Structure 1
Amino acid sequence: MAPLSPFKMYILMKNLQSSMPSSPLKDMDTGLPKVELKKSLEKIESAINDACKVLKQLNLPSVSNDNGRPAVATSSRSAGISPLLRVIGRDQDHDKIIAMLHEKENRCHANTISGTCHSVIGIHGIAGSGKSTLARCVYDHEKKQKRENKEGHFEIVIWVHVSQKFDLDSIFRDIFEGATGKKCPKLNSLHTLKEKLEEVLLGKRILLILDDVWYNSRNSEDHEELQKLISPLNVGKAGSIILVTSRTEDALLALGAVQERCIPISDLDDEMFLEMFMYYALGDARVGDHDRTKLEMIGKDIATKLKRSPLVARTVGARLRKNPKVEIWMREKDRDLIKETMGALWWSYQYLDEQVRRCFAYCSIFPRRHRLKRDELVKL
């Protein structure tokens, strides 16, 4: 993200000068002396460049807007397939889902809503319980199988992040690009896009992973939208499967899953959870054997306060890992904020740099999944 170019600064200053004909010394609108106004503009430019650096540090996925200019996107649906973290304690759930994916076609559970033979497998559980991580693990397994066997069990394997509010046009484009590896062409209507997508999926055995699906059983429109979402798979080959993650079982049933294929994300036992927490908190940190033993003892006490939440284990552990010192861990062990999930996240937030916290606070005024464009954000 580059600073404003000399040419842009020249245009900006020229426009300002043209708006102040009444006095050679003061700006007509602000009443500020020109020298002071120039200094203010320089400060604003410096603040903009600092903000751009902060956005870069946040490592948000980069996309281009309609003019080909870089934009900061929070709505990227491929965000869920970033490099996978270590998976601990999910072997049983993983093996169970893989077995379901590879069931023989004559045992396929037909989708009772659409009447097709693609079936739905669902993972449900509270936020931060590891649903997406487990689904990602399954996704990686099937992609690897496809690479090693050239075709694999599934001819097409696709990951799409859905979220609370979704646009069918965007989802269909993501499915098209996931299936073909090519950019989806611009089409005039959703109907034309659906037909183009069905041409790609026709007669193929497909694994479509829909991550983070939301559903309100009291809203009939939600049910209709979900059915439209999976409708292109009706042209697929028998044995196609949709793997869904959601906070509620209702969403899975609305998509056509049968009860026995709705899998609640299992709790980690205390031993597994401690292993996960210590992996994030200490891992291969360079500390002496004596200090490591003490840190492991303190870490065990901290882990008991985290309610076996994988999200909190990762959040708190990653923060502690930056300071693997006995006195710091002892101090944090006694803090009240660490006891609850949101408390742990808030605790982590408090350790962000001041300018990053201000950036987060400002960006929180935008709705979930809103696309942030650089130029608009700078103007705001």
Structure 2
Amino acid sequence: MGEFLLTIVVEGMLKKLASLALEGIDLAWGLKGKLQKLNKSLTSILAVLHDAEEKQGREESVKIWLQKLRDVAYEAEDVLDEFGYEVLRQSVEGSTPSRKVSKFFSASSNPIAFGLHMGKKIKKINDELVEIKNEVVGLGLIIGRERAPQTSVSPITHSFLEKSEQVIGRDGDVSEVINLLNISCDDQVLSVVPIVGMAGLGKTILAKLVVKEIKDRKLFDETIWVCVSQKFDKQRILGEMLQDLLGTNNGALSNLNTIVSQLKEKLEGKKFLLVLDDVWNEKLQDWESLKNDLSIVRGSNGNVIIVTTRKQQTASIMETSPGRRHELKRLQDEECWSIIRKMVETGNDKASISGNLEVIGKDIARKCGGVPLAARMLGGLMRNSKEESDWSSIKNNPVLDSRGDDGDDVGILPILKLSYDHLPSYLNPCFAYCAMFPEDHRIDKEQLIQLWMAEGLLRTTNEQ
């Protein structure tokens, strides 16, 4: 269990303590004072836990503090579970402590011995929590610090541009890809033009811009979009092509020959553009198998496939003309600042950015490494506050200096982690829960809420 779930654990223990007090069980076992002290310590620690969970990534002392707290929290949770078990056992036997304290324990149980035994455990936990609580001031943890919600980016891709997708500095890339498509249409029956680049550069958005331009200029009879992702499944790809052409989801067709036959019928006499987004496959035989079926369904000459991938090997095995690919480059620092500025100015507070803030903002933009996604994520953080201290805190966060310049995917991950750390702590486990689903799985909103509720992850308020 990660640090972000400590909040859930501590809040759960406070609820258990409240339940014990309500039933009068603390009095029945003579543990009222000890349990009240435990409640007080947990409440104090909960107040700084949000801040600690953010800082633990960059301050080793806070990370050690959280580790100690986690160990004690698990121990305390076990003790409270013992209480819960005893309450349940007595409930099954038909006796309740609030009505018959003298008969609360069965003949095999001794209330005095049980109270002394549990009292020793609680005292040990209280002593450890007091020690942990006393370290709060020295660590500089802030009481009650919370974060505003951030917008997460959905991994499901489609061909339509969202209003929230900031596109800056890519006009030249669109023109170059269109030019490659025109050249490819002239000399091949089925051509492939890969768009290659590291994570976060905007390969998918560039493909969307190209599709939009192609539709406006009516260069192809049909445009088809399929999100491939890490599992290269030929039947799924062909099936989703058919669904995209039909504009409906007829369910997964189990017969590959039927899918190919319907695609051939639908594309008869037509020139098509197919976008295979987010391809990871590096096996030549898998690609050759798909290409053979695509050659069967082709309606006419001049069909083109755009492949977006972060892997050079994938581009090499799929491209039909060596070198006929588009290498997506990093943005300039000024372009990253433009993205950040637009993100900030679309927030609730649309006041102008002061000169001092602009200086700090441009320093942050330089740390984006030319990656548009990094600029978007940081802009999302910065628009929640226009205080110089908050922007300086982001600028000076060592996470922004931990990214390499080798083009590896790790470049964007620390910034995504920084954005995750700035979520309200009660949303962290909700967000992390989504990792239970397969990549690119279409998550039903209502079902997800029900699952969160079943896991006890949703925090209630007085109003809701």
- Tell me, yes or no, whether TM beats 0.5: yes
Report SS of the residue matched to 2:427: helix
Report SS of the residue matched to 1:33: helix
Aligned pairs for 1:68-217 within 5 A: 76=156, 78=158, 81=160, 83=162, 85-103=165-183, 105=185, 107-108=186-187, 110=188, 117-145=189-217, 152-184=218-250, 187-216=253-282
Query: Is the 1:201–1:232 contact (alpha carbons within 8 Å) kept by the matching residues of 2?
Result: no
Aligned counterpart, 1:225: 286
The residue type paired with residue 132 of structure 1 is: T
> Deviation string for 1:46-79 (max 9, x for gaps)?
xxxxxxxxxxx98898xxxxxxxxxxxx7x553x
Gaps of 5+ in 2: 1-84, 96-149, 404-411, 456-464
Aligned counterpart, 1:346: 417
Report SS of the residue matched to 1:129: coil
How far apart are 1:104 and its partner, in Å? 7.9
The yes-or-no answer on 1:281 pairing with 2:281 is no
Aligned counterpart, 2:43: none
Would the alpha carbon gap of residues 277 and 241 (structure 1) be closer, same or farther in structure 2, given more than 3 Å must change?
A: same
Report the number of matched residues: 301
Taking only the aligned residue pairs, the percentage that are identical comes to 31
2 CA distance for matches of 1:153 and 1:348? 40
Aligned counterpart, 1:39: none
Aligned counterpart, 2:439: 368
How far apart are 1:232 and its partner, in Å? 4.0
More helix per residue: 2
How far apart are 1:245 and its partner, in Å? 0.5
Would the alpha carbon gap of residues 352 and 186 (structure 1) be closer, same or farther in structure 2, given more than 3 Å must change?
A: closer
Aligned counterpart, 1:297: 359
Aligned counterpart for 1:236 among listed residues 262, 274, 299: 299
Query: Is the 1:128–1:309 contact (alpha carbons within 8 Å) kept by the matching residues of 2?
Result: yes
How far apart are 1:160 and its partner, in Å? 1.1
How far apart are 1:366 and its partner, in Å? 4.6
Would the alpha carbon gap of residues 183 and 247 (structure 1) be closer, same or farther in structure 2, given more than 3 Å must change?
A: same
Query: Is the 1:155–1:206 contact (alpha carbons within 8 Å) kept by the matching residues of 2?
Result: yes
Would the alpha carbon gap of residues 215 and 185 (structure 1) be closer, same or farther in structure 2, given more than 3 Å must change?
A: closer
TM-score (norm 1): 0.69
Query: Is the 2:227–2:277 contact (alpha carbons within 8 Å) kept by the matching residues of 1?
Result: yes
How far apart are 1:273 and its partner, in Å? 2.6
Query: Is the 2:334–2:365 contact (alpha carbons within 8 Å) kept by the matching residues of 1?
Result: no
Instruction: Give me the CA root mean square deviation.
Output: 3.4
> Deviation string for 1:97-124 (max 9, x for gaps)?
112223485x32x3xxxxxx11111110
Aligned counterpart, 1:64: none
